[in-house]
Every structure is written in C-alpha cells, then in structure tokens.
Structure 1
Amino acid sequence: MTARIAGIWYLIMAISGILGFMVFHPQIFISGNPERTLANLIELESTGRIRIMLEFAIVISQALTAVWFYKLFKDVNEWVAWTLGIWGMINSVAIMISAISMASAIDIANSSIQTMDDKVLLIQVFQSIITNAWGIGGLFFGLWLFPMGYIIIKSKRMPVWLGRVILLGGIGYLISTFISYAGIDFSFGRILILPATIGEFWMIGYLLIFGIRPVNE
C-alpha cells in the first residue's frame, strides 16, 4: 500500500508538472517578453491562476512523494531514505519559490497602484526568478534521483535497470544545469534529462502496478 500511495503522489506530481509547465506556462509567461507576459496576466487572469494552482499541486505532491518515499525505503536503508526525503523536500521548496513569484506577478499585473512601466520591470524580475527557480532547481531535481537509483540497485526490490536509468537521469540533470548556467551553447540539453523522464515514469508505473518486491525475492 505504501508503494502505491507513493506512486499516486508521484503520478500527480508528473501530471501537474506537465500541465503546468508545458501546457499552461507558455500561454502566460513569454520568455524574453515581459510586456506580452504582463498583457497575458491581465487579459488571461483565470488561465494565470490555473497555472499557479498547478504549481501548488506540484509543490504539495512533490513534498508528499518525498515523505512517502522515505516511508517506503526507511526499512531498507534509513540513511539513504532520509537523503531521498530531504532532497525531495528541497525540490518542493525550489518550486515554491517559483509559485511565490507567480502569485506576485499576478498581483502586480492586476494592481492599480504601479505604472505600466513599473509593472513591466517587476514582471521581468519575477519571470526571471521563476525561470531560475526551475533552472537551478535542476541541481536537486538531479540529486534526489541518486539515492532513489542507489537504493533500488542495492536492495534489488525493484528492477536493477530501473535504478541504473534513474541514476543516469540524475547525472544528466546535473550536467544539463551546469552547462546551461556556464553559458555553453548546447542545443541537445534536453537529451541529457531524457533518462530521468524515462526512469521517473517507469518508477511511477512500477509502483502503481507492482509496488515493491518482498525482502526474500
């Protein structure tokens, strides 16, 4: 039951992340164009609020996924389970910073106090914080996959290759983040995080369908 509840929270996190970051986010927040973003926040306020609700869903489900992963693995290796839980919580905090900035951007856009020029400047600042909360958050998005992959491989209570793919995904996230912030022009950055995407969805499916193998298997 613990494994399947962890899988449910992980699935909710994945769904809210896809809807929020890939579907609704580009409808509101236009990279490099704070003027258009401001107009969107005013004209499409309800869409902007759906976006922030999805960000809340990511924060909550990420935190609960981390808690349930700790519960799932604490009897296998408590130190690694603590590491997994703590680093998962840090992911949640990084996304929460993004959510705070989104809420602030919506408030500023629909405020009658600031001038339009001031609003554009503030929207640009908040938009940058959102982008970097997710970008630099990639460090811990990657790090929390290390204890996850390690405990799967060592315990053998899930497929060993699942753990290896997850570890590879963690490495990919770290390399991708460093390359991005080093200012290196690398057009295939998304390929580096592909193993993480495969591994996480594999993990979700395995938790929901099979749970976790008994100790004697």
Structure 2
Amino acid sequence: MYSIKRTARLAGLIYLVVVVTGIFSLAYVPSKLIDWKDAAKTVQQITASESLFRWGIASSILCYIAFLGLPLALYQLLKPVHEQAAKLMVILAIVSVPISFLNMQHKFEVLTLIKGAEHLQIFDSVQIASQVMAQLSAYDDGLLIVTVFWGLWLLPFGFLVYHSGMLPKVWGVLLVLGCFGYLINFFGRVLIPDFGEMFIARYITRPASLGEIGTCLWLLIMGARNRPGFLAPEAVISR
C-alpha cells in the first residue's frame, strides 16, 4: 500500500547516506590529509594515512550511488505537487553523477603516484609531490563544475518543497537560496581569482547545507504530512 510517510522516510534515509558520506569525503578527509601550501606534507600525510584516503574514495562512490536513488525517491513523493518540476529535479540531479564518477579518476591517479609505480621511478620526490597536487587541484576543479548541478537541482526541489504542504516552507526557501548560492560560488571562483579568500565565499553555500540537512532530517524523523487536496493512488483508484 502506498504511504506518504513511508516514501518520505525512505527519501530521508537515502538523503542521510548522501549527507554523511558527502561530509566525510568532501570535508573530513581533505581536512586531515591535504595542505594546499605544502605539497611534501600532503604526500607524506596521504602516504601515512592511505587507508583514510581510500575510505574517502569509497565514501564518495557510495555518495554518488545514493544520489542516483535520492531524486527518484523524492520524485515519487513530490510529483503530485508539480510533475514537470519533479522531472526537472530528477534530470538536473542525475546529470551530476557521471561527471562526479569521471572526476574520481584524479584521486586514483594520486594513489598511483604515492604507490610509486615502476614507470614513475624517473621522477624524484619533488616531482611526484607536484604531480599529486596537480591531480588534487584537477579533482577540485572537476568538483567545482559538479556544483553547478548540485545547485540547479535545488531550484525545482525547493519549489516543490515550498508548495507541497508536506514539509515546512522554510526548507523550500533555503533550498532555493542554496541554488543561487552554489551558482554565485561557481561564477565567483571562475571570474574572480581571489574569490575563495573573500568573506562571502565562506557563507554563500550555507543556505544549501542548512536546507538539505534540514529537509533530510525532517523527512527521516517526521516523514511528510498529507497536503490539502493530495490523494494517494489507492484513493484515486477506489473512486
């Protein structure tokens, strides 16, 4: 039997996997291993904590797999609100996944470099460290491209949440603001060389984080309430 609360909690559970694995791989692991001002130290830390670096890769892969299922679960929940917006949400979210997977090749290149493959013996430690940082920088550049779609999917998602009546409107507002925050962050970093050092850069994507984590926890804990006029499929069939 169709259940709004069951569908909402499934979406919340998948969302939780995305949030937890995303925080681990995108924030925790880099904070422990990467020093952008010291290539030699970065190589030393990755080499000494190779298992943590590998767990970061595995966590990213799990995050992207979960992110394939998340918009589909949300589509089932939110399509009665506005089906075209729900379809757009799914498309914009899923487009980011193959880009994210391809971008992971740079982290596998880092593993190859620190393991000292035979064909790399001609390079000294300084050159190896330089190549490691180049691969990590390329990964970050690819991640920046992906954030365009991480932002765009939040626009129809926020619209649907706001108008659904199933969740608090504040989450919808934060999700929409998060969309523009991601886009401002992307174009700011592309067009302004020192944008990353600006005060705004630290906070511009906060609405997205608050909106996504808030929506995730609300779906997981509270589920979703029937909105006025919403009918579950079996109710329609019974008429």
The alpha-carbon distance between structure 1 residues 195 and 123, as it changes in their structure 2 partners (threshold 3 A), is: same
Return the TM-score normalized by structure 1.
0.89
Which structure 2 residues correspond to residues 1-217 of structure 1 after superposition, within 5 A? 1-113=6-118, 114=120, 115-116=123-124, 118-183=127-192, 184-185=194-195, 186-216=198-228
Does the CA contact (< 8 Å) of 2:81 and 2:163 recur in 1? Answer: no
Measure, in 1, the Cα distance between the counterparts of 2:214 and 2:49. Answer: 36
Instruction: Compare 3-12 and 160-169 and name the one that shifted more.
Output: 160-169
Q: Percent identity?
A: 24
Deviations for 1:11-48, whole angstroms, at most 9, x for unmatched residues? 11111111222211222233244333333332221121
Larger of the two Rg values belongs to structure: 2
Equivalents in 1 of 2:109, 2:39: separation in Å?
14
Q: Is the 8 A contact 1:3 1:208 kept in 2?
A: yes
Residues 121-165 of structure 1 deviation map (CA, whole Å, 9 limit, x = unaligned): 432331112111222222111111101111122332322222112
Please report the TM-score for the alignment, with normalisation by the length of structure 2.
0.82
Unaligned runs of 5+ in 2: 1-5, 230-239
CA contact (8 A) 1:144 1:170 kept: yes
Deviations 1:27-85 (A, max 9, x none): 22332443333333322211211111111122112222122122222333222112111
Supply the distance in 2 between the matched residues of 1:187 and 1:96 (Cα, whole angstroms).
Answer: 31
Q: Is the 8 A contact 2:157 2:175 kept in 1?
A: yes
Higher relative contact order (CA 8 A, sep 6+): 2
User: What is the CA-CA distance between 1:118 and the residue it aligns to?
Assistant: 4.8
Contact 1:17–1:54 (Cα < 8 Å) also in 2? yes
Q: Which runs of 5+ in 1 are unaligned?
A: none
Distance 1:154 1:79 in 2: 14
Count the aligned residue pairs.
Answer: 217
Task: State the AA in 2 paired with 1:125.
Answer: A
The answer (yes or no) to whether the contact 2:162–2:169 under 8 Å persists in 1 is yes
Matched letter for residue 67 of structure 1: L
- Distance, in Å, in 1 between the alignment partners of 2:51 and 2:161 is 42
Contact 1:97–1:130 (8 Å) recurs in 2? no
